Amino acid sequence: MKNKTGYKTIAAGVALSLVLATSGTAQTPAQTPAQAPTIRTVTSHPYAAAAVDSARLLAADAEPGTWMAAGRTYSEQRYSPLTGINKGNVSKLGLAWSGDIDTERGQESTPVVVDGVLYITTAWSMVKAYDAASGKPLWAYDPKVDRATGQVACCDVVNRGVAAWKGKIYLGALDGRLIAVDGKTGKVAWQIQTTDPTQPYTITQVPRIVKGMVIIGNAGAEYTCRGYVSAYDAATGKMKWRFYTVPAAPGDPTNTPMLEAAAKTWHGDFWKYGGGGTAWDTILYDPKTDLVYFGTGNGLSWSQDIRSPGGGDNLFVASVIAVHADTGKYAWHFQEVPGDEWDYDVTNPLMTADLKIHGAVRHVLMQAPKTGFFYVWDAKTGKLISADKFAPLNWASKIDLKTGRPVENPAVRYTETKAAIVQPAPLGAHNWHPMAYSPRTGLVYIPVTESSTGFQSMAAKDFAPKDRVYNTGTVAFSDKITALYGQPGALGRGNIRSYLEAYDPVAQKVVWRAPDQDYGAHGAMVTASDLVFSGDWSGRFSAFDARTGAKLWSAPVQADVVAAPSTYTIKGVQYVALLVGARGLPPGQVRTNPLSANNSRLLVFKLGATAQLPQAAVAGAVAGKVLDPPLLTGTNEQVIDGEGAYGRYCAGCHGQGGTADKSIPDLRYAPALNSLRSWNSIVLDGARADKGMVSFKKVLAEGQAEAIYHYIVSQANKAKATEQAKP
């Protein structure tokens, strides 16, 4: 039987090859009655491993024991029908096995589990395959990404996971390659360069498999890139279609009529800076509409004064775009942030669901973007159904449901002379961290961050985009911004907090919030036993009651967690898998992994298991961090110059204002502060280039490396004084 997409519908053939296992699953109201968790026997299939095909992907719900794709099914709800682990027994969840990861940057991938094999990607786009039951490592693949690529990876050298298809495992590598490796051996089957390697493009997202094609976008909208999404034949790597998200220079052959029209919403020579609009995270395929959806990021520069003097919507930045799966032809778009100036990417996870709205079941597309407004659209037409605040924000008062446009707060547009304090900050109310939706509770589980920041535009005449650095055209620190923060009732500077939130997308209201002890967002998963699983930045992995937010179980993981977990069964036993490791270590935690300074690991849990993580500190151990800067010897001018240069060249990786929030060192704690010579050997001579800290000799002007040094010493001394003033 064929459905209207031309695929076979859930076929008996799939069910027949399944080996039924023991633990039961819940009957879920909005889905087909769930079947028992199952595994496939690998040997009976034409592919030795990763034996995923269209029929199987479309029927992923009929295999609750498999986690076939990063979002589990095409809906990307990250909802598991498994109930083996439930509220009654979750307290007995323990560590079954773990695998030390040999990189010490951010780990963002969701484990994909097919036919008894568990696949992850790690920082630097490496892939590892394990026996999903025993944890035995099966193979590892390292695409050997040039570490200098890290310089144009805005937000760490991360990777969010693999796609599995007909015996192959697909990944997008940081350097812009799309790579297919054999699922059984990890040997490269084919690889292609999807980007111009002379341009500062990167890839960190999960490739998606759609109708025998692999779909992939890219990142780089802070660094003079132009966004696009491409589809390649999954068997051969031959390109099938490409959709550019912003127009190029007039007359460019890639400008479709749609892009010629979009160009009218821009001013000036915007194409000189690439335009931005990169689709760097979410890509969703919906078999019901046969559309592929993706969200686009910010324009370049952030400052509209520079990017498009005179304003305009700047299509299609900060938009959700739907294209026809077979051709990549435009179907509809919805621009969430016309003329965005605040780095409000709408690349955040998209998911489809069937929601009962005003008595009728609607097939919808949902998103909780950086802006803080939760959107529900008709998945087929893109018509806005509802939009409301899921987090505090000040940039707009509401979304006008008739026009779909935000009612902007005029105070948040900034120029060279006018500063603004904007909530949320570019970090976003919700960023890439996976959210989850349960058709049982009807709630979406969103990792939310509250933040604000100051913006002011650079003078347009001073804007000269440079290679391989942030070209946002903004300053984050200025007298005007400081004055705004000093006003009565102003938002607190750097006042960041985060929580896991349960949100009702039909009523558009917050149902519960589970606050984080230490700030930092972390991906989520929900199961049919009404458990929400998520890690945190205090070194814990926890299970929450999906209806109340009560914490029911928690285990130490010795690392910060940003990735989302997944769950699967092998021989009837349910496992929960999570990749941990990001920025530094949780407060008080020592290094216990000989291979990675941030204790990056794959952890797999099951009921009644009692494995332990190593407790003993290994060489290079850091127990928290100690602020021990030398006294400030630089002049006031140097500190001010250093602040500007740091903001432009270093903050993208090391954090705003010398406060790091990623897996890249917080320079205030750098041992190199103790000697300007070792500082210069790192910053100018590239002493750590093999670790991703390349030389800035060609970028920095004479004396700037030293000015930044003095600025960081001054920041470190300020932080130390604050620390000592604490009771």
Q: Which stretch binds ligand HEC (CB under 6 A): 438-446, 563-571, 627-635, 687-695?
A: 687-695
# binding residues, ligand HEC (CB under 6 A):
22
d(CA 45, CA 49): 8
Buried/exposed 515-531: b ≥16 CB within 10 Å, e otherwise: ebeebbbbbbbbbbbbb
The interface with ligand HEC within residues 143-182 (CB under 6 A) comprises 150-151
Given the residues 182, 286, 313, 343, select the one marked as catalytic: 343
d(CA 708, CA 646): 6
| Nearer to ligand HEC among residue 365 and residue 693 (C-beta) | 693
> Is residue 219 near ligand HEC by the rule CB under 6 A?
no
Name the nearest CA neighbour of 190 among 175, 209, 171, 208. 171
First to last CA, the chain: 72
| Nearer to ligand HEC among residue 178 and residue 693 (C-beta) | 693
d(CA 224, CA 276): 7
* Binding-site member from 373, 477, 575, 649 for ligand HEC (CB under 6 A): 649
CB of 388 to ligand HEC, least distance (A): 37
> Is residue 201 near ligand HEC by the rule CB under 6 A?
no
**Non-local CB neighbours of 251 within 8 Å, separated by 6+ positions:** none
CB of 451 to ligand HEC, least distance (A): 21
| Burial class of residue 43 (count of CB atoms within 10 Å of its CB; 0-12, 13-18, 19+) | exposed
CB of 709 to ligand HEC, least distance (A): 7
Letters for 409-428 (x = contact with ligand HEC by CB under 6 A, - = none) are --------------------
> Is residue 328 near ligand HEC by the rule CB under 6 A?
no
Q: Is 462 a catalytic residue?
A: no
| Burial class of residue 236 (count of CB atoms within 10 Å of its CB; 0-12, 13-18, 19+) | exposed
CB of 123 to ligand HEC, least distance (A): 10
C-alpha to C-alpha distances, 101 to 123, 340, 373, 439, 601, nearest whole angstrom: 9, 38, 36, 34, 5
Are 630 and 673 in contact, with CB atoms under 8 Å apart? yes
CB of 476 to ligand HEC, least distance (A): 15
* Binding-site member from 679, 695, 706, 707 for ligand HEC (CB under 6 A): 679
d(CA 426, CA 470): 13
Are 133 and 571 in contact, with CB atoms under 8 Å apart? yes
Q: Which stretch binds ligand HEC (CB under 6 A): 318-326, 448-456, 580-588, 670-678?
A: 670-678
Q: What is the largest CA-CA distance in the chain?
A: 77
Letters for 65-104 (x = contact with ligand HEC by CB under 6 A, - = none) are ----------------------------------------
Are 137 and 130 in contact, with CB atoms under 8 Å apart? yes
CB of 397 to ligand HEC, least distance (A): 36
Q: Which stretch binds ligand HEC (CB under 6 A): 350-358, 381-389, 607-615, 688-696?
A: 688-696
CB of 694 to ligand HEC, least distance (A): 7
Q: Which stretch binds ligand HEC (CB under 6 A): 174-182, 526-534, 555-563, 644-652?
A: 644-652
d(CA 400, CA 662): 36
> Is residue 664 near ligand HEC by the rule CB under 6 A?
yes
Are 205 and 216 in contact, with CB atoms under 8 Å apart? yes
CB of 88 to ligand HEC, least distance (A): 45
> Is residue 124 near ligand HEC by the rule CB under 6 A?
no
d(CA 576, CA 555): 12
CB of 685 to ligand HEC, least distance (A): 11
The interface with ligand HEC within residues 559-618 (CB under 6 A) comprises none
| Nearer to ligand HEC among residue 11 and residue 627 (C-beta) | 627
| Nearer to ligand HEC among residue 630 and residue 671 (C-beta) | 671
Are 573 and 132 in contact, with CB atoms under 8 Å apart? no
| Nearer to ligand HEC among residue 368 and residue 693 (C-beta) | 693
**Non-local CB neighbours of 200 within 8 Å, separated by 6+ positions:** 152, 220, 223, 224, 225, 467, 468
| Nearer to ligand HEC among residue 314 and residue 598 (C-beta) | 598
| Nearer to ligand HEC among residue 365 and residue 672 (C-beta) | 672
Are 544 and 531 in contact, with CB atoms under 8 Å apart? yes
| Nearer to ligand HEC among residue 528 and residue 712 (C-beta) | 712
C-alpha to C-alpha distances, 38 to 5, 33, 61, 439, nearest whole angstrom: 26, 15, 11, 21
Name the nearest CA neighbour of 328 among 168, 214, 202, 219. 214
> Is residue 629 near ligand HEC by the rule CB under 6 A?
no
Are 26 and 528 in contact, with CB atoms under 8 Å apart? yes
> Is residue 476 near ligand HEC by the rule CB under 6 A?
no
Letters for 695-714 (x = contact with ligand HEC by CB under 6 A, - = none) are -x-----------x------
CB of 625 to ligand HEC, least distance (A): 10
What is the four-CA torsion angle of 658, 664, 670, 672, rounded to 10 degrees?
Answer: -110
Which positions are annotated as active-site residues?
Answer: 343
Q: Which stretches of the chain bind ligand HEC, using CB under 6 A?
A: 150-151, 649-650, 652-654, 664-665, 667, 670-672, 679, 682-683, 688, 691-693, 696, 708
